[in-house]
Chains A and B, each alone.
Chain A
């Protein structure tokens, strides 16, 4: 490749890992929070199940 063109594009490959890491970690952070929400919901639903069984047990 033409040496000048090479120099023009010289920073692209070294910067690629940082660029990709930045975007990837962004999505990881969002996913982590979504997982926290989902986990909380599952836990609360399990509690509700326990309560339903308890109520059923009492009315019987």
Chain B
């Protein structure tokens, strides 16, 4: 058993390898970065202007003649979380491909956990998106490109997880799941492209007027990197727990023989 492991050309991901050493630092970095980003979003970045107001007032040191929007602050977490969920999907697809190439079940485990993390962050995207949409546009849902693509992403990750529950044989399950994972990864950008490029007459493409100031960009980047760190730490933690459970189960089976 140990010999065959040594003979494999590549090392399998396992709990306790170098990413786990980094993990505590990464989570601390993640927490610091997201907190910094949060504070920056509220205290440093100037609020975005909404509808114009009759008259102008001096606020702080600028003349303001628009309504100041607080709800847009949600965006500083909404966008990074969305990017993180897609990054998690990319990792899942990577592990799916490695499974298909090597047929090592370990990669399938990695893919499953990456998909779980992707689902978590997609749910977070939907929550923040919902709250923002509800306030800004007064409705609970619009079929704009971003929200629609995220709905599809969520549905496909849920389908991946449901599929895994429906297949008993581990190798079959891994093969089917990996194929679905790869398809999911390819489908989501296509979905985004299609909804962006085809104008819908009833539901117009919602783009914010005015671009992003560098401060906004920095804030999003801060939170973005922070969220990715959090995602990575969660992935490693879950991976360690799952590997622990797997090894315990394997031990149990050996003892039962």
Contacts and interface: CB of A to CB of B under 8 A. Distances in A.
| Interface range, A side | 20 to 34
A60 interface: no
Given A18-B131, A25-B127, A8 B59 contact: yes
A22 B132 contact: yes
A35 to B, nearest CB: 12
Contacts of A10: 67
B27 to A, nearest CB: 11
Contact of B74 (A18, A34, A41): A18
Interface stretch (B95-103, B177-185, B236-244): B236-244
Contact of B120 (A9, A19, A33, A48): A33
B57 A5 contact: yes
Range of interface residues on chain B?
35 or more
Nearest to A38: B241
A9 B60 CA distance: 13
A36 to B, nearest CB: 8
A3 to B, nearest CB: 8
Nearest to A42: B241
Contacts of B249: 47
Given A37-B238, A44-B244, A54 B124 contact: no
Contacts of B237: 34, 37
Interface in B98-138: 116-117, 120, 123-124, 127-128, 131-132, 134-135
Interface in A25-50: 25-26, 29-30, 33-34, 36-37, 40-41, 43-44, 47-48
Contacts of A29: 120, 123-124, 127
What are the 7 tightest A-B residue pairs by CB atom distance, in nearest-first order? Answer: A22-B131, A15-B71, A44-B245, A4-B55, A18-B135, A18-B131, A12-B70
23 contacts: A4-B55, A7-B53, A8-B59, A11-B50, A11-B68, A15-B71, A18-B135, A19-B70, A25-B131, A26-B77, A29-B120, A29-B123, A30-B124, A30-B234, A33-B116, A33-B238, A36-B238, A37-B237, A40-B242, A40-B245, A44-B241, A47-B252, A51-B252
Interface of B: 38, 50, 53-57, 59, 64, 66-71, 73-74, 77-78, 81, 116-117, 120, 123-124, 127-128, 131-132, 134-135, 230, 234, 237-238, 241-242, 244-245, 248-249, 251-252, 255
Interface of A: 2, 4-5, 7-12, 14-16, 18-19, 21-23, 25-26, 29-30, 33-34, 36-37, 40-41, 43-44, 47-48, 51, 54-55
